[in-house]
Amino acid sequence: MSETAGASYAAAGVDIEAGDRAVELMKEWVKKTQRPEVAGLGGLGGFAGLFDASALKRYERPLLASATDGVGTKVDLARQMGVYDTIGHDLVGMVVDDLVVCGAEPLFMTDYICVGKVHPERVAAIVKGIAEGCVLAGCALVGGETAEHPGLLGADDFDVAGAGTGVVEADRLLGPDRIREGDAVIAMASSGLHSNGYSLVRHVVFDRAGWTLDRQVEEFGRTLGEELLEPTRIYSLDCLALTRTTEVHGFSHVTGGGLANNLARVIPDGLHATVDRSTWTPGAVFDLVGQAGRVEQLELEKTLNMGVGMIAVVPAESVDAALTTLADRGVDSWVAGEITARGDHATGAELVGSYAR
């Protein structure tokens, strides 16, 4: 009987040394996200991330908010293009902009990266993007996990997820109870598709249109792949600035389900949000998906953000101040609709009219 080598973790496909190398490569990026509340409390590589909540002395009754999310099938486009840092940016945007909807300041995030095989430079690039996103959101990256799953995922396959925690003063908590008849609906422009609807987008451009990621698209002024990987805009600090400079009754993060469905989530019983399509022109990428896939408008609108990534609901008298604050911060925004009463106690939101062309 011939002798064979004993089983090992490495033989099973897990490379511990590669994982350690990835941690070393990402350390400098993680350091850039530190807030005063995490400075000097452990460091990368510990079993848990630490945050000194006692430092939040400006809050009288702090409420903690939490959110978790991923970036969906957009990760497959990053894999195909060999571009990994923008996916981390997307991840932060999806998490922190859910937190800010209730008025919460993002405090810290953790991430989870699952790979078929650890490529240290690739993992470090993903974390670099997460760290850069955290800096834009004003939150710390306090820890994470990189899991190698050989046999379950291909050597080039990966996925990312993240969780975030924020804080809001109890008497400044935003929600449907603050929305009033006569409030204005202010739209903030998206940077493109953000991180939702990519299963539809991929089906249309690859399966139906037969396009490739390196195809130059005149309407975009760049390749299809570059357009589809455009990072998600992060609005958290812009929204928080809005709450400091004027009265805000609510926010809605436009993600999966589209503008109307997400706006309806913050509208109380008896009120209705009407959004006028004629107040903006969706970007070329939305037309491309609709035309190339012969996707009906209502199907597009319940899948994609159509050019609006965040909504603020403010009193009518606060509109000018809100638009000025957002313009000063470089956020393209406009009055897109209003809140009206519904006598039948129904609630919801709808898009009316035709898009400006």
Angle between helices 85-99 and 236-245 (to 10 degrees): 30
Per-residue pLDDT band for 347 (boundaries 50, 70, 90) equals low
- Please check the confidence at residue 202 and state whether its pLDDT lies above 90: yes
- Please check the confidence at residue 210 and state whether its pLDDT lies above 80: yes
- Please check the confidence at residue 101 and state whether its pLDDT lies above 90: yes
R_g of the chain computed on alpha carbons: 22
Closest listed residue to residue 266, CA positions, set 175, 357, 340: 175
- Distance separating alpha carbons of residues 163 and 333, to the nearest angstrom: 28
- Distance separating alpha carbons of residues 239 and 325, to the nearest angstrom: 10
- Distance separating alpha carbons of residues 36 and 54, to the nearest angstrom: 11
Per-residue pLDDT band for 275 (boundaries 50, 70, 90) equals very high
- pLDDT of the residue at 301: 96
- Distance separating alpha carbons of residues 353 and 30, to the nearest angstrom: 46
Per-residue pLDDT band for 238 (boundaries 50, 70, 90) equals very high
Question: Which tokens go with 126?
Answer: 């993903």
DSSP run (H or E) holding 225: helix 224-228
- Please check the confidence at residue 144 and state whether its pLDDT lies above 90: no
For 283-293, b where at least 16 C-beta lie within 10 A, e where not — what string?
A: bebbebbbeeb
- pLDDT of the residue at 145: 86
- Distance separating alpha carbons of residues 65 and 82, to the nearest angstrom: 34
* CB atoms inside a 10 Å sphere around CB 118: 24
Q: How far is CA 181 from the centre of its chain?
A: 29
Per-residue pLDDT band for 1 (boundaries 50, 70, 90) equals very low
SS3 state of residue 182: coil
- Distance separating alpha carbons of residues 97 and 194, to the nearest angstrom: 12
pTM exceeding the 0.85 threshold for the entire prediction: yes
Percent of the chain with pLDDT over 90: 74
- Please check the confidence at residue 48 and state whether its pLDDT lies above 90: no
